[in-house]
Structure 1
Amino acid sequence: MRQLLSEVLAHPQVSAAVATTRVAVDEAIGHRALRAHGPTLALESSLRGARASAAADGVDITVEFLRSGNVRLDHPGRPIVQAALRLAQEVPVVENIWRRSPVQALARLHVVAAADDEVLRAAPDAAAVGRPRDAQSAQLLQALAQWIATDSTTPAIVMAAIAHGQIAAEQPFGTRDALVARAVERLVVRTRGLDPRGICITETGHALIGRTAYQQALAEFRTGTVQATVDWVVHCAESISAGAREIVAVADALIAD
């Protein structure tokens, strides 16, 4: 991991992506609309992030439809949409836990994501909710949590991308892992100081490329090669940039009204 990370950080594509994304995020978090509409923009980011995260899992509904609350009980994508919404609401709540114990926060996020998973909760070992599915998965989460807790030099964008990729690709919980992974990406960006108010919609780009391309990118990331990791980090950086531009457009509209 250390050697791979060193090579990824030294790659010019990563350096360029990190720099470009920082500019986009700085524009978003410095927008003058935040002075009067900060809470509104944070809520809008959360809602749009949930919509994009659900879309990355194949449930693509409009933000207007989601805002209306009219997702029917019999809608086939309702469980994913509801899980994405719960996670979006949980990110700011779990922030302090994440700072103290990332592994505990990861468990909490999975409990939230799987709250309505009847199959999982009906299993003989219902306590498995919030716990890794096997010893190898437990080791992965412990190593990831240790890295996040002790590494103070890796840029937030790179850390968020790798944390997202590892959880989504390796599926340590066995259910709703990708939803948890995208929540973790937002959490890292928030707690590492890049976007402390959680304004940017980090999930935007994952929805924009479509579920098939997203899954292919994850499959490549799972190979563990330097170039595959670089490509994944660049994609995640572009996703954050797209989310920053999206919230800037929302902020501009608020001022214009």
Structure 2
Amino acid sequence: MDPLAPLLDLADVAEALAAARDSVDTAMRHRALRRHGGQVAAEASLRAAVASAALEGNRHDLDDVRAGTVTDPVLQGALRVAEGVGGLVDLWPRAPRQVLAKLHVLAARGVVPTEHLGRLTGGAERIDALAALVAGNEETPPLLLAAIVHAELITLRPFAGPAGVVARAAARLTLIGRGFDPRGLVTVEVGHLAREPEYVGSAGAYATGTPDGLRSWLRHYAAAVTAGAEEITTIGDGVLATV
């Protein structure tokens, strides 16, 4: 049985997640994806990385990043993570703890001392529980599972340095690996950044463990996914305008 199924009974949660799914389905029909899917995916990955770094407090202009002039180590780590996610998709459901360590090495190199890379700073029991939830889980709907993966990691912050980059990447891996977003096009990170006060507040609410706190986070996550789907349309329109 799905251990997270009761969360779908919280008021408005199932409806919000279903609406987010519909938004993604609509965005995936954008005509730019028929012939220029690679360009859309590359731009989506870039925007997701820039947004993830911004959510760690390291904000940079997208054009400057695209031009390669930004050397900020947190941003560079987010870009490495974005590039490395594809190679970790198959490993994620088989060895979640190993993947989290790899993500931290990518994200935090040049930010924290080498001896801290890939090493937990605490919360080992909760990480074990999260790994057990992820490993081989084919029951929980992908969007719900990704939301919980993200929330657990963003509230626990079990790694030194840019732990939020790791949390957002783990959620992205879940969406990709479970087939919700197999091409990695949905820039959920952009959605979080666009609603940053809500992102921070709902994560704090989730940490309380109350039904209202859980509901607040899940509704935010659905809204961020919807915004990430809308970003696909924006990127697709931009690509078509240049070809």
* TM-score interval, smaller chain: over 0.9
Structure 2 residue aligned with 1:200 = 186
Q: Aligned equivalents of 1:58 and 1:213: distance in 2? A: 16
Partner of 1:158: 144
1:158-237 pair list within 5 angstroms:
158-210=144-196, 212-237=197-222
Runs of 4+ deviating beyond 4 Å: none
Aligned with residue 120 of structure 1, among 103, 106, 113: 113
Report what 2:131 is aligned to. 145
Aligned length: 241
* TM norm structure 2: 0.92
Identity %: 39
Equivalent residue number for residue 34 of structure 1 = 33
8 Å CA contact retained: 1:29, 1:195: no
SS in 1 for 2:179: coil
2:121 aligns with 133
CA separation in 1, counterparts of 2:73 and 2:151?
22
Decide whether the 8 Å contact of 2:176 with 2:182 is kept in 1: yes
SS at match of 1:45: helix
Change (3 A) 1:237 1:94: same
* Deviation, structure 1 residue 153: 2.1
Counting only pairs closer than 5 Å after superposition, residues 63-142 of structure 1 correspond to structure 2 as 63-71=62-70, 73=71, 78-117=72-111, 119-121=112-114, 126=115, 128-134=116-122, 137-142=123-128
**8 Å CA contact 2:47, 2:62 repeated in 1:** yes
- The residue aligned with 2:53 is 54
Any unmatched runs of 5+ in structure 1?
none
Cα displacement string for residues 65-116 of structure 1 (whole angstroms, at most 9, x for unaligned residues): 2111122x4xxxx122111111111111211211321221111101111111
User: In structure 2, how many angstroms separate the alpha carbons of the residues matched to 1:94 and 1:188?
Assistant: 10
* RMSD after superposition: 1.7
| 1:25/1:244 contact within 8 Å kept | yes
TM-score, normalized by length of structure 1?
Answer: 0.87
Structure 2 unaligned regions, length at least 5: none
Name the SS for the 1:133 alignment partner.
coil
SS class of match (1:96): coil
Structure 1 CA distance for aligned equivalents of residues 182 and 157 of structure 2: 27
